Structure 1
Amino acid sequence: MRSGGVTLLAVMLLKMPRVVSDQKAIFESNELFRRLSREAEIRYTGFRDRANEERQLRFQNSCQQGRAEIAFVNTGTNLSLQFFPWNVENTQNMSPPKDYVNFDREQGKVHLKAPFILNGVCVMWKGWLHLHRLEGMGCIEYDEERARIEASRIVSPQNINQNHKHPSSGGNESQLEKRSRLR
């Protein structure tokens, strides 16, 4: 159904929250989050069909560009991570900050940090990988600061109903309701 160039699905997606209402409780009680929050073995999963030397080079290049594919070995969980602060939107042609990609902290290793939303919960992935073996250790942590910001963006059902009342109930017509009616 289209109305004025806007589909009903697009309107619903714009109002759908990115996060769940009680993120911390879900992070603490959900089995997946419990497993991923324990420091565990991780591996770089990019370019598995290439020679090890090429994979090492591609891993270092992708880290310098601010991204990499990492897997938790014990759960098989694969993540495509971006190593930039969550408030940075356009990362093209940018180098990640040193506290998100640090090659200098420990010789032969890179320390990484990546914020993202997993199953509606704001988390921060932290870990390190050995530059030659492409293995290391990592885990996720609950991101309290981002959770607060994302939670403040949640549109409550009351706000939606107030903004889009049907004319018969005394509200103003929204763009969706101005479409021509079948008679």
Structure 2
Amino acid sequence: MSKIDTRRADIVQRLTDYVLAEGLSAASLRPLAKAAGTSDRMLLYYFKDKSEIITAVLGEISARLVALMTDRTAPQPLPLDELRRQLAGFLFDDALWPYMRIWLDVASRAAMGDAYYRNVGEQIGRGFLEWGKMQLASDSDAQRDIDAARLFVSIEGMLFLKSIGLDDVNAKAL
């Protein structure tokens, strides 16, 4: 890795921490540069524009979340209902809520018609769908595709319900 690549990777780590703590709404160029310990001009030396910065940060947030999910799920594939219970048991915990809040923000911006966030959200969502397929014990590849879609839809619904204060509904569904 070159010195520039190393510095860029360090900046992405710092910015990821900042965005997880402050949210996407706080991700304008000057606050991002301050969080990275550099100037906005230097930040644009490492990234061509703000979109490239946000893409790198959202990619790192996704990678961290996948690592946390992988660490907390069974080492062997599980049936759909069991995997859903495991995921719901920790994804909505306060420690992981910053990740979920960012995902809701991406979805909200996409729903408002922002093509950038729709594209990024689709990429991230498809990545989580593929992760789910690898975690599921299903009778066939076709059934695994269906189970992964059901897992994703149910977890997303539970995320939405938690965000509006309906944790009790989630608890009943499990």
State the TM-score, normalized to the length of structure 1: 0.23
Which has the larger share of strand?
1
Higher relative contact order (CA 8 A, sep 6+): 1
State the TM-score, normalized to the length of structure 2: 0.24
Which has the larger share of helix?
2
The structure with the largest alpha-carbon Rg is 1
